[in-house]
Amino acid sequence: MSPQRGIPLVTVDVTYDVGSRVEPPGKTGFAHLFEHLMFEGSENVGKGDHFRLVAEAGGSMNGTTSEDRTNYFETLPAESLDLALFLEADRMRALVLTQEKLDNQREAVKEEKRLRVDNQPYASSFETADALAYDAFPYKHPVIGSMDDLQAASLDDARDFYRRYYAPANALLAVVGDVDPADAFRRVKNAFEEVPPRETPARFAFTEPVPSGERRQRVDDCHAAMPALHVNFKVAERRHPDLFALSVVERILGAGETGRLWRRLVKDDSLALSLSVSLDERRGPSLFRIFSLARPGVTLERLEAEILGDLSRFAADGPTPREMERVRRLLLSSAVRATQTTQSIAFLLSEYGLYDGDPGLFPHDVEAVLALDAAAVRDAAARLLVAPRRSVVTVVPSGPGESKGPA
């Protein structure tokens, strides 16, 4: 619980320790499909009432599913705290699942997949890039799942999933906003003490083999007009010291139009149309990602060689003092901006609380990153952005109109 005075709002967040990583082969997409079912009504909340009650209170709500967790949250006027607590406790205690709800939401999720992945240029290549980078199934398959697996999901699967993963002790509750802690804890107790304990699943764990060599794959994309390139490196889990160092590398190489790679490849030498660098931090092995669209006339081979050349140079020379100073300022300003809304604070508390057992680690991590020197950053780049950890996906336009090319 984090009291934040000033704006008369409160965010309630319940994060469950279940994400797509727990899905076995044949059951992909289930964690996300289940998230949809959580909005379809519980013992004392009829179908559609969840949305109605939050809307009438002037609130907003949503849920999200990632590889590592599923969260549900409401932001409401602070005096409506009880409503959010009631809704969360009721669906944790007694969700109502029916075949009809499953069928409807299954179809809605398939439409979501058509919308977000199947008909969007480059979207499927991101799925390929994950499948190529990872060996173990948990991170190898996409959160949205496959059409076949979604089709095969049964009501028994849903009931079993709820029993297993939606146990109270598998969740973390965060309350952030304009509340008095004593009063708010009393209200939380009121709402949740009726939820009986259930057996909690064993802590999920999996291992990935040690990265052992470069991997490559080509994707033909019928929706894309421009060739593109993914260069990914499989690295350690979130909060590992290597990841702290890579978060600095990410901001020096990427971070918009002042980043080294963008400046040289997009602006100065006109080899790429766009380029982004991101660190995809996960509870298990994470990915350091580079994604770039090639400029017409520049081959993907050339673009890849140039990117790898720049990475080697960075690994040899490290960051300049000025780059280090810029990144420290950037880190601090983004840390301040990350704590500006009740919702973003709730997310930080929940993830640290659930993953690490200590919701307040965020400032500690900011400090750990700020304490790194240039040598540590260079060392991380030299050890981790290397061929054995690398996977490369080339995306080649294959649409019927593309071979001709626009006039």
Partner 1 sequence: MKNILVSHLRLSMLPNKGLFWYAPIAAFAALLASPQGFAATQAEPIPAKPDQLVFKPFAYVPPAAKDHRTVLKSGVVAYLAENHELPLVNIQILLKGGTYLNPPGKEGLAELTGYLLARGGTKDRKAEDLEERLAFLAAQLNSAYGEDRGTVSLNLLSKDLDEGLAILREVLTEPRFQDDKLNLRKDQTLADMKQRNDSSTDIEQRERSFLSYGDDFYLSRFETKASLEGLSREDVVAFHRKWVDPKNMLVAAAGDFKKADMAARLDKLFAGWPHKGEAAPPVPKPNHALAPGTFLVDKDVNQGRVSILLPGLLRTDPDFFAAAIMNDILGGGGFTSRIMNRVRSDEGLAYSAGSALQSGIWYPGRLGAAFQSKVRTAAYASQIVIEEMKKLRDGDVTDEELDTAKRSFIDTLPRRFSTPVQVVGLLVDEEFTGRYASDPGYYAKYQANVERVTKADVKRQAQRLLKAESVTLLVVGKKADLLNPDPKHPVKFADLTNGKLTEVPLRDPLTMQPMGVGSAK
Stretch 67-96 residues interacting with partner 1 (CB under 8 A): 75, 77, 79-80, 82-83, 86-87, 90
Among 283, 279, 403, 258, which residue's Cα sits nearest to residue 19? Answer: 283
Burial class (CB in 10 A: 0-12, 13-18, 19+), 31: buried
- Pick the closer one to partner 1 by CB: 154 or 207: 154
Q: Is 57 in the site for partner 1 (CB under 8 A)?
A: yes
- Looking at residues 156 to 215 of the shown chain, list those that interact with partner 1 (rule: CB under 8 A): 181-182, 185-186, 189-191, 193-194
Q: Is 51 in the site for partner 1 (CB under 8 A)?
A: yes
Task: Kindly report the length of the chain.
Answer: 407
- Looking at residues 282 to 301 of the shown chain, list those that interact with partner 1 (rule: CB under 8 A): 293, 295-296
Q: Is 257 in the site for partner 1 (CB under 8 A)?
A: yes
The span from the CA of 342 to the CA of 11, in Å, is 6
Q: Minimum distance from CB of 344 to partner 1 (Å)?
A: 10
396 pairs with which residues across the strands?
A: 220
Q: Minimum distance from CB of 30 to partner 1 (Å)?
A: 16
- Looking at residues 338 to 367 of the shown chain, list those that interact with partner 1 (rule: CB under 8 A): 339-340, 345, 349, 358-364, 366-367
Label residue 127 left, alpha or beta by phi (over 0 means left) and psi (-120 to 50 means alpha): alpha
Q: Is 258 in the site for partner 1 (CB under 8 A)?
A: yes
CA distances from 23 to 66, 104, 136, 140, 372 (A): 12, 21, 12, 11, 37
Largest CA distance in the chain: 69
- Pick the closer one to partner 1 by CB: 254 or 285: 254
Burial class (CB in 10 A: 0-12, 13-18, 19+), 211: buried
Residue 149 φ then ψ, to 5°: -65, -40
- Looking at residues 27 to 46 of the shown chain, list those that interact with partner 1 (rule: CB under 8 A): 39-40, 44-45
- Looking at residues 362 to 381 of the shown chain, list those that interact with partner 1 (rule: CB under 8 A): 362-364, 366-367, 370-371
Binding region for partner 1 (CB under 8 A) out of 53-61, 63-71, 127-135, 198-206: 53-61
- Pick the closer one to partner 1 by CB: 200 or 339: 339
Residues near 103 by beta carbon (within 8 Å), at least 6 away in sequence: none
Q: With contacts defined by CB under 8 A, how many residues of the chain interact with partner 1? A: 107
The span from the CA of 95 to the CA of 105, in Å, is 15
Q: Is 9 in the site for partner 1 (CB under 8 A)?
A: yes
| Structural tokens at position 168 | 């109270």
Which residue in the set 96, 152, 195, 273 belongs to the binding site for partner 1 (CB under 8 A)? Answer: 273
Which residue in the set 48, 241, 309, 388 belongs to the binding site for partner 1 (CB under 8 A)? Answer: 48
